Amino acid sequence: MATSGEAPESWYLALLGFAEHFRTSSPPKIRLCVHCLQAVFQFKPPQRVEARTHLQLGSVLYHHTKNTELARSHLEKAIPQFEDVKFEAASLLSELYCQQNLVDSAKPLLRKAIQISQQTPYWHCRLLFQLAQLHTLEKDLVSACDLLGVGAEYARVVGSEYTRALFLLSKGMLLLMERKLGEVHPLLTLCGTIVENWQGNPIQKESLRVFFLVLQVTHYLDAGQVKSVKPCLKQLQQCIQTISTLHDDEILPSNPADLFHWLPKEHMCVLVYLVTVMHSMQAGYLEKAQKYTDKALMQLEKLKMLDSSPILSTFQVILLEHIIMCRLVTGHKATALQEISQVCQLCAQSPRLFTNHASQLHTLLGLYCISVNCMDNAEAQFTAALRLTTHQELWAFIVTNLASVYIREGNRHQELYSLLERINPDHNFPVSSHCLRAAAFYIRGLLSFFQGRYNEAKRFLRETLKMSNAEDLNRLTACSLVLLGHIFYVLGNHRESNNMVVPAMQLASKIPDMSVQLWSSALLKDLNKACGNTIDAHEAAQMHQNFSQQLLQDHIAACSLPEHNLISWTDGPPPVGQFQAQNGPTTSLASLL
């Protein structure tokens, strides 16, 4: 038998070794791992060993079992103990509290741990990040920004410029979410300087640059500045290529406050694909958007096999939201509907994901309803979406589309004028987005056209053209050109009409935008007929017939899908597996032909 002096260490190491062996087995043998750790207490170990064992048991039970009560009990016993144990236990326990919706228990626990951890830079920074994240999830961005500011100052004092940049970039991200653009600009300028001057691990430096550039790119895209963003986006794409060639060095930073990273390399790659898709969709390069979405979704599928991180599902939902809009434009409604159903399924698995994306989901269903000419359902979907959002840009996007529904219905004057007052591009436009303001001018032009006020319509549409040309907004340019062409045709100015419709058709086929192609080909047929160009008129008629057939087949396919019933869902959680197959399309096809 071992002497008492060496006994605790040898039995403890043996039990710990067994526990770790069982935990890392394939598949993990968690029950045996827990038995080994519980056996430690039989030996009446020293206090430090006892505290660490409570932490280890709490951690294993929390991460690998559903026994949260027992995990919580062990972590609570570890809290009052030694420094290296208590901070980790506080961090894990507050995570567990949040999982049980006990946020009010998590906050004081983290605050206390932050107060007493100032001599331990790694834990002090980590706990500040954790509490800031908790406030962010609760939509208390002011408190979160304050904590990140405290973290940035602390990191500066302990000589970690790297972690200072992480705190400041995180604060910049929240300020962008709050639309505090006056504070964002100086902060991003400061971050740019810190990132460029920091000399450290190349992967850490490049990941800071990716974070910085992602913020800049999303800031431009939020403002609808599709052309101005290009240099930043190019830098970001080069940056991610550089990162993918660098090897992860196992050299640990000498400063413990530097032991953080923003996102794993693989997650950053998906994020760069994602912002590229956002740009391509806004600019109207829909085939490029499709290509990058396919790449990103393939990479996500691989990552999700090994990694259950919730951010991956968020990336997947945002990618699907963008590609659905592309499909509706390119005339692939049936595929769009199946992808909307996929978003429903992802949101059904995560209440937080659904809370954050419910409004977008109803907006997509509203756009689908417009594409299949179900205007009552479109109105109901957009109304539901408006009820569920506080995001200004999304609100303006929904209102713009709802106004287009009222214009098409032609008998909703009161509601229409009340909406248009709220998105008046000439006066107090509610958001700073260049793209949405250009769209608001287009909606005004569309209304004036339907009311026969052609000169007024031309003024609005020329404004849209000026704005969309300035930022390469191809879809708005194509829509404005074809509508102007239509106005000139009605006014009998065939030459000017032709000058508008031909470039509209070229642009629409480049995007490709199926409904603008359908509209342009119909107008070209009538124009050529009026001018006596029989061959050109016949060619345009043939094109129009082809587009009509494609859209009609897609329309029938979409309306025949069981998922088509989603158009009547306007309240509550996303319906999954509740679709009944339809006997056939129930919607009018008149608007397509």
pLDDT tens-digit readout, 519-567: 999 999 999 999 888 999 999 999 999 999 999 999 999 999 999 999 9
Section 51-67 average pLDDT: 78
Q: How many CB atoms lie within 10 A of CB 553?
A: 12
User: 137-176 burial string, b = 16+ CB within 10 Å, else e?
Assistant: eeeebeebbebbbbbbebbeebebbbbbbbbbbbbbbbbb
Q: Tokens at residue 423, please?
A: 């998105």
CB 77 within 8 A of CB 114: no
pLDDT > 70: percent of the chain: 92
Q: What pTM, to 2 d.p., does this model score? A: 0.84
Other beta carbons within 10 Å of 470: 14
pLDDT at 244 over 70: yes
Report DSSP letters for 314-337, one per residue: HHHHHHHHHHHHHHHHHT-HHHHH
Q: What is the DSSP letter of 43?
A: G
pLDDT tens-digit readout, 393-433: 999 999 999 999 999 988 888 999 999 999 999 888 988 88
Asked whether residue 444 carries a pLDDT value surpassing 70, the answer given is: yes
**Torsional sign, CA 148, 150, 152, 155:** negative
Q: Tell me, letter by letter, the H, E, C secondary structure of 168-220.
A: HHHHHHHHHHCCCHHHHHHHHHHHHHHHHHCCCCHHHHHHHHHHHHHHHHHHH
Residues 251-269 as b or e (16 or more Cβ within 10 Å = b) = eeeebbbbebbbbebbbbb
Q: How far apart are CA 233 and CA 214, in angstroms?
A: 8
Q: Contact 326/474 with Cβ under 8 angstroms?
A: no
pLDDT for 589 beyond 60: no
Contact 242, 206 (CB under 8 A): yes
From residue 5, alpha-carbon distances to 44, 278, 312 in Å are: 14, 65, 50
Specify the pLDDT at position 81: 62
Q: How far is CA 536 from the centre of its chain?
A: 45
More confident residue, 254 or 420: 420
> Is pLDDT above 70 for 44?
yes
User: Which pairs count as long-range contacts for 346-354, CB under 8 Å and 24+ apart, including other chains?
Assistant: 346/313, 346/316, 346/317, 346/320, 347/317, 347/574, 348/573, 348/574, 348/576, 349/313, 350/310, 350/313, 352/137, 352/310, 353/310, 353/313, 353/314, 353/317, 354/573, 354/574
Q: Omega before 27 cis (within 30°)?
A: yes
> How far apart are alpha carbons 87 and 91 in whole angstroms?
6
Most confident range (mean pLDDT) of 80-84, 86-90, 474-478 is 474-478
**For residue 367, which of 319, 412, 325, 322 has the smallest C-alpha distance?**
325
